[in-house]
């Protein structure tokens, strides 16, 4: 019995000594894009223009230079009835202008702001990388689309529906 208690004590001390705490730094949330009410031919592709944050993207043709421009081809497999799930997320590090060339629809996204959830303390086994034990997200709390402000209290934090 004494041997059992001694072994139990040793195992307990070993287990307690192998628990470490570490800080996980949270990644910023992003905004997923979904269209609603467009025909497939209206949105066969989109032009995505990224600008420096908090510099309201100018009208097309002005002299302000974008920091990145991409053409995203939208295929039929993204569609469910009149809803298109665009496999693209807007990160909080930039402002954006999205143009659907076929339909002429334009959406300007700016002021994508996240909360103050920048890190978390996690317990994990010593000798292991803390990132193996899950991450955290600093959720999007507000953003502006075409001049209208959306916030977490009145809108889904991670999805924006571009409605025709």
pTM of the complete model beyond 0.75: no
11 SS3 class:
helix
- 66 pLDDT band, cuts 50/70/90, is confident
Give a yes or no: residue 110 inside a domain. Answer: yes
pLDDT at 106: 92
Q: What's the structural domain count of the chain? A: 1
Give a yes or no: residue 9 inside a domain. Answer: no
Among 29, 23, 27, residue whose Cα is nearest residue 120: 23
Give a yes or no: residue 4 inside a domain. Answer: no
pLDDT averaged over the chain?
74
Look up the domain containing 100 and give its range: 19-121+130-163
- 156 pLDDT band, cuts 50/70/90, is very low
Q: Which of 15-24, 81-90, 99-108, 147-156 has the lowest mean pLDDT?
A: 15-24
Q: What tokens does 87 get? A: 């496999």
């Amino acid at each position: 019995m004494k041997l059992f208690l001694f072994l139990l004590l040793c195992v307990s001390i070993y287990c307690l000594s192998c628990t470490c705490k570490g800080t996980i730094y949270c990644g910023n949330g992003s905004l997923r894009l979904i269209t609603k009410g467009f025909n497939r031919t209206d949105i066969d592709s989109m032009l995505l223009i990224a600008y420096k944050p908090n510099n309201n993207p100018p009208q097309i043709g002005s002299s302000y230079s974008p920091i990145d421009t991409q053409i995203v081809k939208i295929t039929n497999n993204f569609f469910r009835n009149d809803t298109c799930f665009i496999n693209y997320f807007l990160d909080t590090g930039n402002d954006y202008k999205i143009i659907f060339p076929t339909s002429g629809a334009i959406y300007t996204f700016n002021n994508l702001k996240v909360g103050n959830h920048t890190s978390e303390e996690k317990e994990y086994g010593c000798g292991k990388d803390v990132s193996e034990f899950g991450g955290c997200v600093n959720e999007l709390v507000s953003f502006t689309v075409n001049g209208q402000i959306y916030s977490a209290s009145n809108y889904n934090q991670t999805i924006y529906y571009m409605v025709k």
